[in-house]
Amino acid sequence: MSRKNLQHITLINTKEKVTQTLDDDLVYTSDVLEDVQHLDFAAGIPPFLRGISSTMYLTSPWKNLKLDTPKNCEEYNLFLKTQFKAGQRQFLLDFKSLINLETLSDFKTIFKDISLNECVFFIKNNNQAIPTLAFLVVLAESQSIKPDTLKGGFYINVTKHELHTHTLNVDALIFSNSLLPNFNKIEISGHHNNTTAPEIELTCMLISGYNFLKKGLDSGILIDNIAKRISFNLSIGLHHFTEIAKLRAARLVWSKLVKTFNPKQDHALALHINTVIQPSSSLNTCDTLTQITLQTTTAIFGGVQSISQPKLTHDSHKNVPLYLQKETQIIRTIDPWGGSFYVEKQTHDIAIKTWNLFETYLKTGQYPDLIQDRQPLRDTSKSIYKSEVNALNNTFTAHDQKAVKLALLNLKKHINDTPENILKLCISAVKKQATLSEILNNLSQLSNEN
């Protein structure tokens, strides 16, 4: 089989409108693939368009992950223990829904009977990220676990991280953190809705990934080591073939991007893709099952590495990914729609439009207008902090107020320190029994002064 080298794949700039679903009544022949240059690649080799492994799910089954937003610490602990016993070892920590999370004791309740060094934790990159890390470090030490054994990373929402600057974002911690050297993964999330055009979603994530690659290189890290830390979390819409093409195109454009940095290992070009299956809440039981099955099958045919599901009440809904994995022959196939004129043309078009938008960003340093027009309005950092502090409305006084005040004052004094030093100061405050809202309140003051 003749295979072109990755660097010779040309993604030609075109001035086309946002991708729409192709007309289903059209007949697609080989003529539509005349200019398509990616057809001769196989799974397991760059650009990994057809999959990151030549054996895919036979040797590396996709991970089935559960998500939940419990209302209190006890419920969160029950969720973690249930999933831990079921074999899940990767968790996305999101504590914003908790109404009683304040103290180190509350964190101990959440992680009771959970071995922190046996799990991989992802933390959302919001203003609770650094305080949450501080509580995790102190909690690990209370379990006689060394912080440098904790594994995980940060869940980055590109709509908030790139276009709208967060105070104290965690970029520096990702690339330079002697305290938590294994807490260095980056999961980039795009627009989780079904109305965003695929090239816009991919461009936002490609730009974010590119900026992380640059920051890592500036920190002295080799491109091979940076690229393997980054994964995409892509939404899955209801247009089966377009979404499959989007997942394939994501691997293609990512490989082409990383290739420009001249990595030494081919596998540095491979992109791990995760997704969240989010059915509409307005559907009845039967329709929900249909939607979940469609989205899950799409994700699998597109070659994702993990499928996350929010809390669902009906057993038939919860078990769709597991059923497909264990009871069907779906794991025996690799990119089953590869070679389809329809899907290959969609893959080609999405990749070209994505690369076109990305090159516009490289030339101007600005997001293209097409993307800017679709971004949510920015919330000020002050209002973000205020809402988070107000949500933590428990009053906790059973600690040494003087020691806490000194620790928080020390935190305030180091307003211009690096995030790593601020993390260490937050750890010190937690050890003095400072509450989460007290730390957030002081970080709010830092934000205002900035």
Identify the three-state secondary structure at position 93: strand
Chain centre distance of CA 219: 22
Q: What is the pLDDT along the chain (450 residues), one digit of tens a residue?
A: 445 555 556 665 544 444 555 555 577 878 788 888 888 889 999 999 999 999 999 999 999 999 988 989 999 999 999 999 999 999 999 888 787 899 999 999 999 999 999 999 999 988 889 999 999 999 999 999 999 999 999 999 887 655 444 445 677 788 878 899 999 999 999 765 566 899 999 999 999 999 999 999 999 999 999 999 999 999 999 999 999 999 999 999 999 999 999 999 999 999 999 999 988 777 788 888 999 999 999 999 999 999 999 877 677 788 899 999 999 999 998 999 999 999 999 999 999 999 999 999 999 988 877 676 655 434 444 444 444 445 444 444 456 788 898 998 888 888 668 888 999 999 999 999 999 999 998 887 655 554
Query: CB within 8 A of 115, min separation 6: which ones?
Result: 143, 145
Q: Where in the chain is the domain with CATH 3.20.20.240?
A: 6-13+23-372
Q: What is the amino acid identity at position 221?
A: I
Query: CB within 8 A of 409, min separation 6: which ones?
Result: none
Residue 276: name the closest of 233, 323, 244, 320 by CA. 233
Taking a C-beta distance cutoff of 8 angstroms, is the pair 135, 428 a contact? no
The continuous run of DSSP H or E covering 56 comes out as: none
Mark residue 440 as left, alpha or beta (left: phi above 0; alpha: psi -120 to 50; beta: remaining).
alpha
Query: What's the rounded Cα separation, in Å, for the pair 136 and 124?
Result: 14
DSSP class of residue 27 equals: P
Residue 116: name the closest of 54, 61, 63, 180 by CA. 180
Exposed (0-12), middle (13-18) or buried (19+): which is 110, by Cβ within 10 Å? buried
Residue 92's beta-bridge partner residues? Answer: 122
Q: What is the pTM of this model?
A: 0.87
Residue 386: name the closest of 445, 435, 450 by CA. 445
The half-sphere exposure of 196 on its side-chain side, counting CA atoms within 13 A, is: 25
Query: What's the rounded Cα separation, in Å, for the pair 109 and 104?
Result: 9
Which CATH class for the 6-13+23-372 domain? alpha beta
